[in-house]
Amino acid sequence: MGKLILFGILGFAIYHFLISDETGCDAYASKYSCKYVVEKATYDVYYWFNVSEGDPKDEKLIGTVQGLSACFGAAVGYASRFNQKWSERSYICMLKKDGQNMEKHRYLGKL
């Protein structure tokens, strides 16, 4: 019986910390796993032409992508199409889950 309980606890721990999407990622201050945030999550990509002016009316939804690197790439590509000087502050990735806005992120590179 003790082995069964131990196996159950071990199985839960493996699922929770290695498989589940909601295990947390310190690098992105996220409640979701790093793998989910970087590779699997769906993001709405927002871009600001005049980010230095701080006008929230300037934000524009430019697309929806899967993964943070794709979000970064969409923002860089959008800026280059309009010959905009690139700034890391010019974009934000809004993590979407079940149709809800969950967390904002920017791509930090590979983990």
Confidence at residue 15, expressed as pLDDT on a 0 to 100 scale:
47
73 falls within a domain: yes
- DSSP structure string for 16-77: IIII-S-S-BGGGTBSS-HHIIIII-EEEEEEETTGGGT-GGGEEEEEEEESHHHHHHHHHH
User: CA–CA separation, 69 vs 37, rounded Å?
Assistant: 10
Q: How many domains, in total, are found in the chain? A: 1
Confidence at residue 7, expressed as pLDDT on a 0 to 100 scale:
45
Confidence at residue 11, expressed as pLDDT on a 0 to 100 scale:
45
Q: What's the domain range around 89?
A: 33-111
Task: Output the six-digit token pair for 56.
Answer: 């929230």
Confidence at residue 86, expressed as pLDDT on a 0 to 100 scale:
85
2 falls within a domain: no
Phi, psi for residue 60 in degrees, rounded to 5: -140, 130
Confidence at residue 45, expressed as pLDDT on a 0 to 100 scale:
98
Q: What is the pLDDT along the chain (111 residues), one digit of tens a residue?
A: 665 544 444 444 444 444 545 678 999 999 999 999 999 999 999 999 887 888 878 889 999 999 999 999 999 999 999 898 888 889 999 999 999 999 999 998 754
**Taking the CB of residue 17, how many other CB atoms lie within 10 A of it?**
11
List, in sequence order, every residue forming a beta bridge with 48; answer none if it has no partner: 59
39 falls within a domain: yes
**Taking the CB of residue 51, how many other CB atoms lie within 10 A of it?**
17
Confidence at residue 68, expressed as pLDDT on a 0 to 100 scale:
95
User: CA–CA separation, 74 vs 21, rounded Å?
Assistant: 24
Confidence at residue 50, expressed as pLDDT on a 0 to 100 scale:
84
18 falls within a domain: no
